[in-house]
C-alpha cells in the first residue's frame, strides 16, 4: 500500500485535468477540469445530454476517459480502479438491484462483495434510515419506483464510502422521500463524506450544495460557490441553459 | 482474499436466485432431454445401434443446453442494470467471470445429474463409472469456460441469443470431439490409458480458456 | 498521401504483379505434371499458398487484437478486421480448391482430413466473428469484442487441429513433414507461389485498411453535415 500512498495527492476528493470522452465521433465531454474539495456537497447541473452522467460514470470507473487525467480520492482511475470502487458509493437512475431477490438479500449480496463488517446490523440501520424496514423481505420487483431509488441509495452507502457519487438521486422521489434524502445527505456530510451529485434543478442545487458546476454540451461552463449564486445569477445561468438547447 | 470473497458472493447470489425460481436447472434438463428424444426419432433408433450413437447424442444435448444456461446467466444480469452493480465492486472484474463460471458449471452439473439416469435408461448404457464422470466434469468445465466468456459478449449484441452458439460451437469443437470420443471409449469398456490423450486435451482446453478469460474479461465488460 | 508512401506502395504493387506473373509461368509452363495425379495436381500451387495466407492473416489478426487491447488505438482494429476478412476469403479458396482437388484424386468432394477440417472450423468461427461485428453498435465495443475473438480463435487453432487429428487417426497423409519428398522444380514453383500470395495479401490488407479509413472519414463528414456543432450525449 505504500506505493499507493505516495501517489496520493490528497488535496481534492475528485480532480479531472483535460478530461474528454468521445463516443465514436460524438464528443460527450470536452476538456473538463473540475476540483471537488473534501467534506463538501458539490452539484453538477446541466440539461439532458450535457454529459453529466458520462462524467459520473467515468468517476465511478464504469467508463474510461478518452483523454485527460482523472483522480478520485487522489488515485488515478486508470490504475486504481478496484481501490477507488472501494472508496466510492455510486447511485444512478437505474437501481442496479436484483429484481428476484428481497431487499435484505440484495443488500446482503453487495455487503458480502464489499466485506462490510457486522453486516446484518449495518443493513438494519440503513433500512431504518431509508424507511424500508417493513419491506425488507419483499422482492425488489414489488417495490415502487421511489422505494427502489431509496434502496439504491442505501446500496451506494452500504460500505461507508468516503466519496458519494449520486447521479440524479432526486429523480422519482416524492415530497417525503426528497426531504428524507436531503436530511441524509447532510447527515453524511457532517460525518465526513464528500458528495458529488448531478441534477437538472438549478434552484434546488443552489439551495442545498456548497458548490455548483455547470455543464453544457460536454463543456464545463461555470464553477461557483453556491453562496455566491444570487437570484440574478441564477436567471443568467438559466438563459445560458436555454441557449444550450434545453 | 478479496478475490474469493467476491467469487463466493456471486456464486451464493446466483444459487439463491436459482433456488427461488428453479428456472435454469429445470429448463436445462427438460431441453437436454428433448434433444435426446428428438435424436431418437431422427435416427429411428433400434437397440443394436443405440449404443453407438449414445455418446454423440449426450454431448450434443449437453452442448445445446449449455448455450441456454450461459445466455441466461448474463441476461439475468442485464435486467435492472445489475451488471453495472457488479462492475462497481471493489475487485478486479475477472472475479465476475469466475463467479459466473462456477455458477454455470454448478447448474450444468445439476442438470446432468438429472438427465444422466434417464439417458442411461433410454440408451441402456452403464453410467456408474468414475472415468465417465471425470470426462463429463472436464467437458462441462470446458464448455462453460468458453461459453461464459462468449456469453458476456453475446448479450451485448443485437442478436443476443443467436450469437452465442455460432461462436461457441466452432471454438468448442475440441471439447465436443474429446468428450464424445472418450465417453464412447469408456462405454465400450476400453482401458483407461486409451482415453488419456483425450483427458489431456480437455484439460488443456479448460486451462487455456480460463486463463484467456481471466486476462480479457475486464475488456469484455467495459462499456 | 506522402510521396514516400506512394512510392513504396507502387513498389509493392509492381513486385506483386511481377511475382504473380513469374508464378503463373512456373505453374503452367515450367513445372512438370505430377506423375500419378496429372494436371489437376497443379491446383496444389494455389491451394497451399491460400492456406498459408489464411493462416498468416489470422495470425496477424491475433497480434493486432493483443495490440488493440493494450493500446486502444483504432487503427489496430482496422488492420485486424481487414486481416480477418482476407483470411476468410483465402480460407474459402482453400476449401473450394481442396474440394476440386479431392474430387478426381480421392473420388470425393470432402474428406475429414485434419487440415481441411481445421480450416473449415476456423472458417466458420471467423465468419461468426465477422457477423458479431455487424451486431454491435458501439464502435469501441465492437473493436474490443473483435480483438478478444481473434485472440481466442487463433489460440484455439492448434487445439482444434490436435483434436481432429486424434479423432481421425487414419487420415490420408498427403504431405509428410519431411520436405524431402518434393521435387526441386516443384519446390521452386511452390516457393514462388507462396511469395506471390503473401505479397497479394499485403496489397489487399493495405487497400482494405485504406478503405476503412475512408469509410470513417465519410461517416465523420455525414455526422458533421447533420450537426452544426458537435452535440453531447448523456
Over the stretch A76-111, which tens digit does the pLDDT of each residue have?
998 888 899 999 999 998 889 998 899 999 999 999
Give the relative orientation of helices C184-226 and C74-106 as an angle to the nearest 10 degrees.
140
Average pLDDT over residues C90-114: 85
pLDDT for the residue C179: 45
What tens digit of pLDDT does each residue of C202-213 get? Answer: 999 999 999 988
Give the tens place of pLDDT for each residue, C15-54: 999 999 999 988 888 887 776 777 777 888 898 899 999 9
Beta strands A163-167 and A194-199: pairing type?
A: parallel
**Confidence band (pLDDT; 50, 70, 90) for C231?**
very low
For residue C72, the chain A residue with the least C-alpha distance is A66
Please report which confidence band the pLDDT of residue A32 belongs to, taking 50, 70 and 90 as the band edges. very high
Asked if the model's pLDDT at residue C172 lies above 50, the reply is: no
The 8-class DSSP code of residue A70 comes to E
Contact B105, B144 (CB under 8 A): yes
Residues from chain B that touch C135, judged by Cβ atoms under 8 A, are: 157-159, 163
With cut-offs at 50, 70 and 90, classify the pLDDT of residue A246: very low
Percent of chain A predicted with pLDDT > 90: 55
CATH fold, domain A3-242, is Rossmann fold (3.40.50)
Q: What percent of chain C has pLDDT over 90?
A: 46
- The domains of chain A are located at 3-242
Look at residue C77 and tell me whether its pLDDT is greater than 90: yes
Q: Are A91 and A152 in contact (CB under 8 A)?
A: yes
Find the CB nearest B16 among A63, A86, A101: A101
User: With an 8 Å Cβ cutoff, is A54 touching chain C?
Assistant: yes
What does the alpha-carbon distance between residue C130 and residue C127 come to, in Å, rounded to a whole number?
5
Residues of C in contact with A24 (CB under 8 A): 138-140, 219
Q: Is the Cβ–Cβ distance between A111 and A123 less than 8 Å? A: yes
Q: What is the pLDDT of residue C20?
A: 92
Which of A94-98, A173-177, C224-228 is predicted least confidently?
C224-228
Strands (E), C51-105: none
Number of neighbours of residue B110 by Cβ within 10 angstroms: 15
Measured in degrees and rounded to the nearest 5, phi and psi for residue B175 equal -65, -45
Encode pLDDT of A103-148 as tens digits. 999 999 999 999 999 999 999 999 999 999 999 999 999 999 889 9
- pLDDT band at residue A173 under the 50/70/90 scheme: confident
Output the pLDDT for position B208: 96
State the chains in contact with C (3 or more Cβ–Cβ pairs under 8 Å): A, B
Assembly ipTM: 0.91
Angle between helix B130-154 and B173-187 (nearest 10): 160
Which among C219, C220, C233 has CB closest to A23? C233
Residue pair A16/A69 in contact by the 8 Å Cβ criterion: yes
pLDDT over 70 at A8, yes or no: no
Neighboring chain A residues of C232 at a CB cutoff of 8 Å: 26-29, 49-51, 54, 217-218
- Higher pLDDT among residues A172 and B63, named by residue: B63
Range in A73-77, B95-99, C98-102 the model is least confident about: C98-102
Instruction: Check B216 against C69: CB less than 8 A apart.
Output: yes
What is the tens place of the pLDDT at every residue in C179-196? 446 778 888 888 999 999
Q: Please name which of C64, C118, C61, C108 lies closest in space to residue C86, comparing C-alpha atoms.
A: C61
- What predicted TM-score, i.e. pTM, was given to this entire model? 0.89
pLDDT of B153 over the 60 cut? yes
Q: Give the start-to-end residue ranges of the domains of chain C.
A: 17-220
- CATH for C17-220, among 1.10.3470, 2.30.30, 1.20.120, 1.10.760? 1.20.120
Considering chain A, what percentage of its residues have pLDDT values greater than 70?
90
pLDDT grade, residue C2 (50/70/90)?
low
pLDDT of residue A157 exceeding 90: yes
How much is the average pLDDT of B92-111? Answer: 95
Q: Which residues of A touch B92 (CB under 8 A)?
A: 82
Give the pLDDT band of residue B53 (cuts 50, 70, 90): confident
> What was the pLDDT predicted at C90?
95
Alpha-carbon gap, residue B184 to C14, rounded angstroms: 56
Using N-to-C axis directions, what is the helix angle for B94-123 and B23-43, rounded to 10°?
Answer: 40
Tell me which residue of A95, A147, A157, A170 sits closest to A126, measured CA to CA.
Answer: A157
Check if the beta carbon of residue A87 is closer than 8 Å to that of residue A76: no
Given CB atoms, is B222 within the 8 Å cutoff of chain A? yes
CB contact under 8 A, C152 and B146: yes
Residue A26 forms contact with C (CB below 8 Å): yes
Among A64, A85, A105, whose Cβ lies nearest the Cβ of B88?
A85
Which pLDDT belongs to residue C102?
81
Mean pLDDT over B44-71 rounds to 84
Is the sign of the CA dihedral C161, C165, C171, C176 positive or negative? Answer: positive
b/e sequence A80-118, b meaning 16+ C-beta within 10 Å: bbbbbbbbbbbbbeebbbbbbbbbbbbbbbbbbbbbbee
Locate cell 446490523: which residue? Answer: A121
**pLDDT for res A3:** 46
pLDDT of residue B167 exceeding 90: yes
Whole-number Å distance between alpha carbons of A207 and A41: 11
Grade residue A231 by pLDDT with cuts at 50, 70 and 90: low
| The pLDDT value given to residue C169 | 57
Subunit contact C166:B177, Cβ cutoff 8 A: yes
B220 → closest Cβ in C148, C155, C164: C148
- A64 and A217 in contact (C-beta within 8 Å)? no
Chain B residues close to A100, C-beta within 8 Å? 17, 20-21
CB pairs under 8 A between B and C: 87
In the prediction, which pLDDT does A1 show?
40
**Which residue has cell 452539484?**
A43
Give B 27-66 residues with CB within 8 A of chain A: none
Give the rounded percent of residues in chain B with a pLDDT score beyond 90.
61
C233 touching chain A per CB within 8 A? yes
Say if residue A243's pLDDT is above 60.
no
Amino acid at each position: 500500500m505504500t506505493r499507493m500512498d505516495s501517489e496520493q495527492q490528497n488535496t481534492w476528493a475528485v480532480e479531472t485535468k483535460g478530461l474528454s470522452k468521445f463516443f465514436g465521433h460524438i464528443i460527450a465531454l470536452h476538456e473538463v477540469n473540475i476540483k471537488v474539495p473534501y467534506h463538501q456537497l458539490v452539484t453538477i447541473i446541466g440539461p439532458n445530454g450535457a454529459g453529466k452522467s458520462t462524467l459520473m460514470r467515468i468517476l465511478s470507473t464504469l467508463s474510461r476517459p478518452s483523454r485527460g487525467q482523472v483522480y478520485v480520492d487522489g488515485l488515478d482511475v486508470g490504475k486504481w480502479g478496484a481501490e477507488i470502487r472501494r472508496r466510492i458509493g455510486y447511485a444512478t437512475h437505474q437501481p442496479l438491484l436484483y429484481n428476484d431477490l428481497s431487499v435484505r438479500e440484495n443488500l446482503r449480496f453487495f455487503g458480502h462483495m464489499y466485506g462490510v463488517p457486522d453486516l446484518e446490523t449495518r443493513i438494519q440501520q440503513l433500512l431504518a434510515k431509508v424507511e424500508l424496514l417493513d419491506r425488507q423481505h419483499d422482492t425488489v420487483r414489488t417495490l415502487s419506483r421511489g422505494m427502489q431509488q431509496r434502496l439504491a441509495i442505501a446500496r451506494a452507502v452500504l460500505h461507508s464510502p468516503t466519496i458519494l457519487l449520486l447521479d440524479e438521486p432526486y429523480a422519482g422521489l416524492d415530497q417525503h422521500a426528497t426531504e428524507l434524502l436531503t436530511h441524509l445527505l447532510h447527515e453524511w456530510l457532517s460525518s465526513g463524506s464528500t458528495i458529488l451529485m448531478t441534477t437538472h434543478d438549478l434552484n434546488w442545487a443552489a439551495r442545498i450544495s456548497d458548490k455548483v458546476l455547470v455543464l453544457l454540451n460536454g463543456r464545463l461552463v461555470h464553477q461557483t460557490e453556491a453562496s455566491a449564486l444570487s437570484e440574478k445569477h441564477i436567471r443568467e445561468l438559466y438563459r445560458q441553459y436555454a441557449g444550450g438547447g434545453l | 482474499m478479496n478475490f474469493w470473497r467476491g467469487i463466493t458472493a456471486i456464486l451464493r447470489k446466483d444459487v439463491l436466485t436459482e433456488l427461488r425460481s428453479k428456472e435454469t436447472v429445470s429448463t436445462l434438463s427438460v431441453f437436454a432431454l428433448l434433444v435426446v428424444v428428438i435424436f431418437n426419432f431422427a435416427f429411428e433408433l433400434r437397440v443394436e445401434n443405440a449404443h453407438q450413437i449414445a455418446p454423440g447424442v449426450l454431448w450434443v444435448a449437453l452442448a445445446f443446453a449449455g448455450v441456454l444456461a450461459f445466455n441466461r446467466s448474463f441476461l439475468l444480469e442485464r435486467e435492472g442494470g445489475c451488471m453495472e452493480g457488479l462492475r462497481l465492486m471493489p475487485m478486479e472484474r475477472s472475479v465476475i467471470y469466475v463467479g459466473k463460471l462456477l455458477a454455470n458449471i454448478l447448474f450444468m452439473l445439476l442438470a446432468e445429474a438429472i438427465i444422466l439416469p434417464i439417458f442411461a435408461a433410454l440408451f441402456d448404457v452403464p453410467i456408474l463409472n468414475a472415468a465417465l464422470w471425470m470426462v463429463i466434469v472436464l467437458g462441462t468445465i470446458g464448455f462453460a469456460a468458453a461459453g461464459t466468456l462468449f456469453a458476456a459478449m453475446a448479450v451485448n449484441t443485437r442478436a443476443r441469443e443467436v450469437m452465442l452458439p455460432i461462436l461457441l460451437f466452432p471454438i468448442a469443437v475440441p471439447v465436443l470431439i474429446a468428450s464424445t470420443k472418450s465417453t464412447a471409449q469408456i462405454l465400450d469398456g476400453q482401458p483407461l490409458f486409451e482415453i488419456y490423450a483425450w483427458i489431456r486435451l480437455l484439460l488443456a482446453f479448460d486451462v487455456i480458456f480460463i486463463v484467456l478469460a481471466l486476462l480479457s474479461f475486464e475488456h469484455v465488460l467495459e462499456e | 498521401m506522402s510521396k514516400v508512401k506512394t512510392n513504396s506502395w507502387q513498389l509493392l504493387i509492381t513486385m506483386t504483379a511481377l511475382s504473380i506473373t513469374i508464378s503463373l509461368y512456373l505453374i503452367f509452363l515450367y513445372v512438370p505434371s505430377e506423375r500419378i495425379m496429372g494436371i489437376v495436381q497443379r491446383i496444389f500451387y494455389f491451394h497451399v499458398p491460400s492456406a498459408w495466407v489464411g493462416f498468416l492473416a489470422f495470425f496477424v489478426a491475433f497480434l493486432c487484437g493483443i495490440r488493440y487491447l493494450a493500446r486502444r488505438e483504432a487503427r489496430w482494429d482496422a488492420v485486424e478486421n481487414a486481416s480477418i476478412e482476407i483470411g476468410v476469403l483465402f480460407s474459402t479458396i482453400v476449401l473450394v480448391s481442396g474440394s476440386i482437388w479431392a474430387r478426381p484424386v480421392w473420388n470425393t468432394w470432402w474428406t475429414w482430413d485434419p487440415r481441411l477440417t481445421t480450416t473449415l472450423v476456423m472458417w466458420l468461427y471467423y465468419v461468426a466473428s465477422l457477423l458479431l461485428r455487424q451486431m454491435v453498435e458501439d464502435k469501441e465495443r465492437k473493436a474490443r469484442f473483435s480483438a478478444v475473438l481473434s485472440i481466442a480463435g487463433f489460440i484455439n487453432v492448434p487445439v482444434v487441429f490436435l483434436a481432429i487429428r486424434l479423432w481421425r487417426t487414419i487420415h490420408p497423409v498427403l504431405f509428410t513433414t519431411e520436405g524431402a519428398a518434393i521435387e526441386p522444380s516443384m519446390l521452386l514453383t511452390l516457393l514462388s507461389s507462396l511469395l506471390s500470395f503473401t505479397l497479394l495479401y499485403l496489397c489487399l490488407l493495405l487497400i482494405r485498411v485504406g478503405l476503412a479509413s475512408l469509410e470513417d472519414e465519410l461517416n465523420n463528414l455525414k455526422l458533421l453535415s447533420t450537426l452544426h456543432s458537435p452535440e453531447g450525449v448523456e
